Amino acid sequence: MSLELGPWSATPECLSASLGSHDLQVTCPASGVLRVSLHPAGQPWEPSPAVVTPDARLPLSVIEDRERLHLEAPGLTLTITRHPLRFALGDSDGNPLTENLMPVLEAGVWRLEAPLAPETRCYGLGEKTGVLDKRGRRYTMWNTDDPSPHIETLDPLYVSTPWAILFTKGFAAGIYLDDPAKTVWDVGRTAPDRLAVTTPRPGLDLYLVAGPGLDQVVERYTAITGRMPMPPLWAIGYQQSRWSYDSADRMREVVREYRERGIPLDVLYADIDYMDGYRVFTWNPETFADPAALTADLRADGVRVVPIVDPGVKKDSDYLAFAEGVEGQHFVKDRDGLPLVGEVWPGEVCFPDFANPEVRRWWGDWQSTYLEAGVAGIWCDMNEPSLFDSPTKTMPLDARHGADGSLTHDRAHNLYGSWMAQATHEGLARLRPNERPFVLSRAGFAGIQRHAAVWTGDNFSIWAHLEQSLPMAMNMGLSGLAFVGADVGGFSGDCVGELLARWTQVGAFTPFFRNHAAKGTCDQEPWVFGPEVEEICRRYIRMRYAWLPYLYTAFWRASQRGEPILRPLVYDFPDDPEVLACSDQAMVGPDLMLAPVVRPGVRKRLVYLPRGEWIDFWTGDRLTGGTHLPVDAPLERLPLFIRAGAILPRGPWASCVDRLDRERLTLHVYPAETMSGTWYDDDGGSMAYAQGGYNLWTIAGTRDGQESRLSLKAEHTGYDSPTRELRIVIHGVTGASEVASDGATVDWRIEGTDLVIEAPMAPATWTVSGLA
């Protein structure tokens, strides 16, 4: 049944109307975003914890004509047709973004329908299997730990983000349903020309997000659900894990191996076997007798330790965490109000009631035991939550959460993982106020990006999962989750050398970069498959470090604007119809494109170069885009392309971030008529950046015939940086007649096909004349 708009009224910040049994309220929580809430009459809904702007209301205005209301608010317009009730979202210039959004109530079930034009693409939806364009399938938002292979038809997985972007001929609009219940997103599966979103709740709490740009839509969505705070720099370094390195000795051995082989490493994980009988906050007294010594020694080698933490607390009255939890009534309750008991690794466990802020605080305080042991961050697993003994693999739907027990599991389920990550993140922040917390989480809801990085769980060591890791991560990026990555090499099943080589190449450019493998599978460290694969892994892991200045700048943009770090080509080339569904290439930041090989035996692949000029990173060849190109990709080569006109900050590699030579920075210039680049820099670990303790450099340039000009500016200075020396490398130049800086001639040299200038790291301009 469609609905009809009844009497309405408007204040400068809210449009209210009656729909009979339900009310409609429209507010503008942020520029370009409207909250359209249809809830039972007289019972307005609270936003979920995903929303960071619960009380924000920007001014809006409404005018009425016979059949419609026309609403205007900052950054958008909304037309509401009275009968049947439907919405049309437009951008601030009045361009239609999506029309005929129609709430429907049928057989007691609420549904939102949106037409899908033949050319409409659908992106987002968070951590989902399959390809970039989500059309043609149905997705359920219900955090699930499913050990089956994550093939294209498997759904759902661990994270739920009820958010979709509809992209039609260059115009983007986003729909966020602020509903942690089990919602179903049918993206043209049942009816090919219709998106239908259903919810078990008695109404719809929608956020309509206006474009027209895809970048704008993501920026605005993350204005509502929050952004990733800057992680510590070491968390962007390369990481190794294993279920499990089962003793401190084994962990030392792995680090030694890395150092001896000259393969960089920043983090080593301790999986569940470090614990004493899987009791969280404990260490096995035999195999991990002195965790503080272990972490200190590894740290002296530049490696940090991150232990896994599961939510289930072992039912054992001699165990302090459990005893305290019982005493403080900190556990989730069953329908009779008794602590709910489930089975996970430790046997019978109870689950912290993370919905309760007091319990989050309690859990946060317990992180001190890990900090005392010298760990650097926390890895939250099994927080869907995942239970072994339950037929649904999770808690019963009538389990009770929250201080007063009024929140039932059907509505708490999807939030549980985010709450656990939040408790952990806030605990670390409280205990070490001037250090950036690092939390990695498997499960989460919209907004998880504020609390944790997310890895995509238990993939397999199969080519299909390498292939899928790109579209999955790209859609997560478009869903506000910038800090993401898959287990490199694959988790379940035995990896093989060629797969590890190709996966490490991709991993080197994904935001989160960690090799991890399951118990019972063959070892998967970079050296396991012989010298050729080892050499390839070494090379790409080193590249990761050399590219850190560029990647870190991309992380900063994500923290400021929600900009995805790894993203689909359509994000940067929205007007190029060839890229709309491209799943096997990706942009890393605005200027670097990956076209990885994700199939065995392939040594050449077809690459699509979006319109514009490109530079082949390996050969230096200039290429004209708007075309498909066969490209060589021997096993040691990940095809990489740089946008002409880019100026990229890079540095030398090091064995870990603590040992990076930060005295020197190189700006790589890839000439075009106009050029630009950005470099963000801070101390890499403290919270000072949030108070302006960072430096932001921009470099802009032009090239006109044989003359090129560059100008380096300090847009913001707030960090006393160790970087004193600058090297400018202009690629694709074999000669010049003169280089002047701020009017005076300076030295330069040609190295191969690059022109190199050395200068102090300071604002300046350069003119290069007589370019050849």
DSSP character at residue 353: -
Instruction: Assign 3-class secondary structure to 399-450.
Output: CEECCCCCEEHHHHHHHHHHHHHHHHHHHHHHHCCCECCCEEECCEECCHHH
- 453/448 Cα distance (integer angstroms): 8
The alpha-carbon radius of gyration of the chain (Å, integer) is: 27
φ, ψ of residue 578 to 5 degrees: the values are -65, -25
- For the bound state, the minimum distance from the C-beta of residue 396 to ligand MIG, rounded and expressed in Å, comes to 20
Nearer to ligand MIG, 306 or 644 (CB): 306
Among 215, 381, 572, 616, binds ligand MIG (CB under 6 A): 381
- Whether 140 and 155 have beta carbons less than 8 Å apart is answered as yes
From the list 458, 487, 584, 591, the catalytic residue is 458
For residue 641, what are the CA distances in angstroms to 405, 443, 638, 733? 55, 34, 10, 18
3-state secondary structure of 365: helix
Q: Which two tokens stand for residue 565?
A: 């770090």
Amino acid of residue 439: V
Residue with tokens 């490696």: 303
β 694-704/744-745 pair status: unpaired
- Say whether residue 69 binds ligand MIG (CB under 6 A): no
Which residue, 151 or 606, has its beta carbon nearer to ligand MIG? 151
What distance in Å separates the CA atoms of residue 381 and residue 247, rounded to the nearest whole number? 20
Pull the structure tokens for residue 263.
């393969």
Neighbours of 513 (CB within 10 A): 24
Catalytic: which of 384, 563, 584, 681? 384
Q: Is 127 in the site for ligand MIG (CB under 6 A)?
A: no
Residue 274-313 contact track with ligand MIG, rule CB under 6 A, x = bound:
----------------------------------x-----
In the complex, the smallest distance separating the C-beta of residue 384 from ligand MIG, rounded to whole angstroms, is: 10
Min separation Cβ 519 and ligand MIG, Å:
7
Query: Is 381 among the residues known to form the active site?
Result: yes
- Smallest separation (angstroms) from ligand MIG to the CB of 393: 11
b/e map 116-154, b = 16+ CB within 10 Å:
beeebbbbbbbbbbbbbbbbebebebbbbbbeebbeeee
Q: Is 353 part of the annotated catalytic residue set? A: no
Provide, rounded to whole angstroms, the least separation between the CB of residue 546 and ligand MIG: 28
Judged by beta carbon, residue 146 or residue 301, the one nearer ligand MIG is 146
Instruction: Report the nearest approach of ligand MIG to the CB of residue 145 (Å).
Output: 7
**Distance in Å, CB of 282 to ligand MIG, minimum:** 15
**Least distance between ligand MIG and beta carbon 308 (Å):** 5
- Return the residue of 197, 272, 660, 710 that touches ligand MIG, per CB under 6 A: 272
Q: Please, which residue, 48 or 492, has the CB nearer to ligand MIG?
A: 492
Burial 229-241 (b: 16+ CB within 10 A, else e): bbbbbbbbbbbbb
The binder of ligand MIG chosen from 156, 346, 402, 457 (CB under 6 A): 457
Residue 640 binding ligand MIG, by CB under 6 A: no
The residue sitting closest to ligand MIG, measured at its beta carbon, is: 243
Task: Tell how far CA 492 is from the center of its chain.
Answer: 23
Nearer to ligand MIG, 325 or 346 (CB): 346
446 backbone φψ class: left, alpha, beta (φ>0; ψ -120 to 50): beta
* Residue type, position 215, single letter: D
SS3 744: strand
- Compare residues 441 and 708 and give the one whose CB is closer to ligand MIG: 441
The CA distance from 182 to 3, in Å, is: 23
- Give me the least distance between CB of 527 and ligand MIG, in Å please: 21
H or E stretch including 497? helix 497-507
Q: Bridge partners of 492?
A: 460
Alpha-carbon gap, residue 517 to 458, rounded angstroms? 9
Task: Compute how many other C-beta atoms are within 10 angstroms of the C-beta atom of residue 108.
Answer: 7
Closer residue to ligand MIG (CB): 176 or 243: 243
Task: Look up 458 and say whether it is catalytic.
Answer: yes
| Closest approach of ligand MIG to the CB of residue 441, in Å | 11
**Could you say which of 22, 35, 400, 442 contacts ligand MIG (CB under 6 A)?**
442
Report d(CA 60, CA 56) in Å as an integer: 12
Nearer to ligand MIG, 310 or 584 (CB): 310
Looking at the DSSP assignment, which residues form a beta bridge with residue 498? Answer: none
For ligand MIG, the closer CB: 222 or 441: 441
CB of 388 to ligand MIG, least distance (A): 8
Instruction: Give, in order, the Cα–Cα distances in Å from 422 to each of 90, 206, 561.
Output: 35, 24, 21
Cβ proximity to ligand MIG: between 80 and 308 the closer is: 308
The answer to whether 458 contacts ligand MIG (rule: CB under 6 A) is: yes
Q: What three-state secondary structure class fits 102?
A: strand
Among 167, 243, 363, 748, binds ligand MIG (CB under 6 A): 243
Task: Map residue 487 onto helix, strand or coil.
Answer: strand
- Given 127, 266, 353, 381, the catalytic residue: 381
Backbone angles phi, psi at 539, to 5 degrees: -60, -45
Q: How many residues bind ligand MIG (CB under 6 A)?
A: 10
- Residues 501-530 touching ligand MIG, rule: CB under 6 A, are 516
| Contact status: 271 vs ligand MIG (CB under 6 A) | yes
Which CB atom, from 24 or from 308, has the smaller least distance to ligand MIG? 308
Interacting residues toward ligand MIG by CB under 6 A: 243, 271-272, 308, 381-382, 442, 457-458, 516
Q: Which residues are catalytic?
A: 381, 384, 458
